[in-house]
Chain A
Amino acid sequence: MDRDPLILLIDDEPQILRALKTILSAGHFQVISAVNGEQGIALAVSQSPDVIILDLSLPDMDGIQVCEQIREWSAIPIIVLSVRDSERDKVAALDKGADDYLTKPFSIDELMARIRVALRHSAQSIGNKETVITAGALSIDLARHIATLNGDEIKLTATEFKLLSYLAAHADRVLTHQAILTHVWGFEESDHIEYLRVFIGQLRKKIEIDPDNPQVLVTDPGVGYRFRTVD
């Protein structure tokens, strides 16, 4: 990338804006900000930022609406930052097109990691997709349908591989239960979360070093799962 990535902050709380501007600028990002939804959407159109950081409680409209409106014409990664910590809010935002969700208060390391993941994914959607994804000793070749742990091939059933490759293709992003159930099993609008629990459990036994303390297939409580490549 020939310039520093541009980040659009949409948040009406001056303290958060001040802190984030300082921290992100120090981290070699360009930062622009909006204090309400309308202004935020206008800036997203005119400046085409690389990542949008969005608060859900805005004075003029709900952040989820902002998400929906931006998604009508753009795939810019959106990271939601909110004090709303219920799983319902998280799932709603993710279903309406948000790429990730962080609850306030959050740690800056966490936010930086999420921004990097978002940038990587948007870079991939423009250029060539990675076909081999690695997480520690685990390596998944999406094109050849092979998963290896320390170089040894892991025996996976068809469903297990489908599940693993879907998560790996969206590495480091949270995928909601419903999104996974729909993609892997074709369940629309149904709650067969027990399928997911069982298959994730089986996968963890095969790919995790300590299946009871998973480092790769991480649960996002009440929301879904995340395939983690970075700590």
Chain B
Amino acid sequence: MIIGLVTLVLKSFASGLQIQLIALLYLLPVLVCTLFWGLTSGILAGLLSFLAFNFYFIPPYLTLAVHQSQDVITLVVFLIVAVVVSQLIGQARQAEKLARKREWEATRMYELISALAGLTDTQIIIQTLAQKIIETFDFDQVEIIANEQVNGKPVSFCLSKLEVQKKKSDLTLSMFTARNTEGEIRLWLDQNALSLEETRLLAAFSSQGAMAIERVHLMQRENIARILEESDRVKTSLLNSVSHELRSPLAAIKASASSLRSGAVDWNTDAREELITTIDEETDSLNLLVGNLLDMSRIEAGALKPMKRWNSILEIVKGVEAKMRSQLAQHPVEYVFPGNFPLIPTDYVLMGQVFTNLFSNSVKYAPPASHIVVTAETNEGSALIKVINQSPAVAEEHLEHIFDKFYRVTEADKITGTGLGLSICKGIIEAHGGKIWAENQPEGFSFNISLPLTLDGELPKIPKDETDG
């Protein structure tokens, strides 16, 4: 059609033009055809131009016959030039198309790789991969099933544009790396079959996904190894500290009991009374230690389930104070509780242990004859309880660590204890859904506890006052 048009135009204007110029002009439609419709149509256009040129512009006109040898040469040269030009242009176009395609593939790959980079969760990785596959290939449905299992079910993700689920996938790719198979991709294609390039790109996608999942697994393994190493270190330090703590009271008990038995001590002296008191007190401290160890292991195992009931914190703390009377002899405890301080859902016994440990810690570090103040207030839906003692300020960098297991601000030899007390407090408070932290005060140091005021979202149902009588 274009040839016809050009012929018409040339016919009307070209009467004055030389034959060579007309030949050149006929190359134009050949170029246009090659550019827009490719090599084949270019060559076809060349042949048609050749025929039209011959038919209309070379004498004798309106026949395909050629008389002058000069015209024959012109025609042959025209044909050769038309074919060669259309071929060259066609090749250049194809190369460009291919380059575009490559660039597009590379861009998609780059997008996928940067989307997957840094992901540390298999579920998110396969979600990202499925989204990228749908974006890139426009399939009907993608389902990715990883070999990793969570709660007995394989990690999987399905992304679908279909309203009605088709049963069988059209294509299944397994996701493998050099070492492992990490899962498989199931695809529901739209009508068209995949081209070679698409297949290649899809394979690259799948292997990128597999590598990302493998990376997650390797990281997890490395983490586990690190945790094991850490827990090993903790165990060793626990064993050291515990054997020291267990042996000291045992040594005192053994010494007292054996000296009583040997008769070296007169039965009716104060010394005897002293030895018996030692045995009694050291047994208590052993019992406390065993209790702390048990609590620690319950907290570690996640087996610490507080029996939360409506309790008066003041009653709990006063109970602890009464029990620790001899230890607290040098440290009078004062209470600043508002009269209407509510009941707090807590485990009586566990909260008792928290205050026992906080008091015992205060006694260790506070100067003799200094007061311990326990305050309570309600604040924005939670209870805030503070145990304030007059121990020296603790450097800021230690404050957040003093609730860690075995963390000590002072050297271990100088103070007795396992370094477990405060970490147990933290475990117990956190099991209550609360927080515990330490803070330097203008004069001294405070342990702060915040606890929720509600139990299962409810406040206590306080019975109505009865009239006296």
Q: In the complex, what distance in Å separates the CA atom of A160 from the CA atom of B467?
A: 11
Asked whether any CB of chain B lies closer than 8 Å to the CB of A27, the reply is: no
- List of A residues within 8 angstroms of B291 by Cβ: 85
Neighbour of A213 across the interface among B318, B347, B467, CB < 8 A: B318
Asked whether any CB of chain B lies closer than 8 Å to the CB of A158, the reply is: yes
Q: Is the CB of B283 within 8 A of A105?
A: yes
Jot down 11 A-B pairs with beta carbons below 8 A, ordered by A.
A88-B307, A177-B309, A191-B309, A194-B343, A194-B461, A194-B462, A198-B463, A212-B314, A212-B315, A221-B349, A222-B348
List residues 304-325 of chain B with CB under 8 A from any CB of chain A: 307, 309-312, 314-316, 318-319, 322
Asked whether any CB of chain A lies closer than 8 Å to the CB of B421, the reply is: no
Contact A222/B310 with A158-B466, A195-B463 known, Cβ cut-off 8 Å: no
Q: Is the CB of A221 within 8 A of B343?
A: no
Neighbour of B310 across the interface among A88, A158, A194, CB < 8 A: A194
Q: In the complex, what distance in Å separates the CA atom of A221 from the CA atom of B312?
A: 11
CB distance from B37 to the nearest CB of A (A): 85
Q: Is the CB of A192 within 8 A of B461?
A: yes
Asked whether any CB of chain B lies closer than 8 Å to the CB of A87, the reply is: yes
Q: Is the CB of B466 within 8 A of A201?
A: no
Asked whether any CB of chain A lies closer than 8 Å to the CB of B469, the reply is: yes
Asked whether any CB of chain A lies closer than 8 Å to the CB of B468, the reply is: yes
Q: Mark A190-214, 1 if CB is under 8 A from B, else 0.
A: 0111110111010000000000110
Q: Mark A144-175, 1 if CB is under 8 A from B, else 0.
A: 00000000000111111000000000000000
- List of A residues within 8 angstroms of B287 by Cβ: 105
Total residues of chain B contacting the partner, CB 8 A: 29
Q: Is the CB of A157 within 8 A of B319?
A: no
Asked whether any CB of chain B lies closer than 8 Å to the CB of A219, the reply is: yes
Q: In the complex, what distance in Å separates the CA atom of A221 from the CA atom of B315?
A: 10
Q: In the complex, what distance in Å separates the CA atom of A195 from the CA atom of B467?
A: 16
Please report B residues at the A interface, Cβ cutoff 8 Å: 280, 283, 287, 291, 307, 309-312, 314-316, 318-319, 322, 335, 343, 347-349, 352, 460-463, 466-469
Neighbour of A87 across the interface among B314, B316, B335, B349, CB < 8 A: B349
List residues 73-121 of chain A with CB under 8 A from any CB of chain B: 85, 87-88, 105, 107
- List of B residues within 8 angstroms of A88 by Cβ: 307
Q: Is the CB of B466 within 8 A of A159?
A: yes
Q: Is the CB of A157 within 8 A of B322?
A: no
Q: Which residue of B lies closest to A159 (CB)?
A: B466
Q: Which residue of B lies closest to A104 (CB)?
A: B287
Q: In the complex, what distance in Å separates the CA atom of A221 from the CA atom of B323?
A: 12
- List of A residues within 8 angstroms of B311 by Cβ: 197
Contact A201/B312 with A157-B468, A222-B349 known, Cβ cut-off 8 Å: yes
Q: Is the CB of A197 within 8 A of B312?
A: yes
Q: In the complex, what distance in Å separates the CA atom of A192 from the CA atom of B319?
A: 22
CB distance from B407 to the nearest CB of A (A): 27
Q: Which residue of A lies closest to B322 (CB)?
A: A213
Q: In the complex, what distance in Å separates the CA atom of A37 from the CA atom of B253?
A: 33
Neighbour of B469 across the interface among A105, A155, A201, A212, CB < 8 A: A155
Q: Is the CB of A222 within 8 A of B463?
A: no
Q: Is the CB of A219 within 8 A of B315?
A: yes
- List of A residues within 8 angstroms of B314 by Cβ: 212
Q: Which residue of B lies closest to A85 (CB)?
A: B291
Interface centre among B280, B283, B310, B314 (most CB of A within 10 A): B310
Q: Is the CB of A221 within 8 A of B319?
A: yes
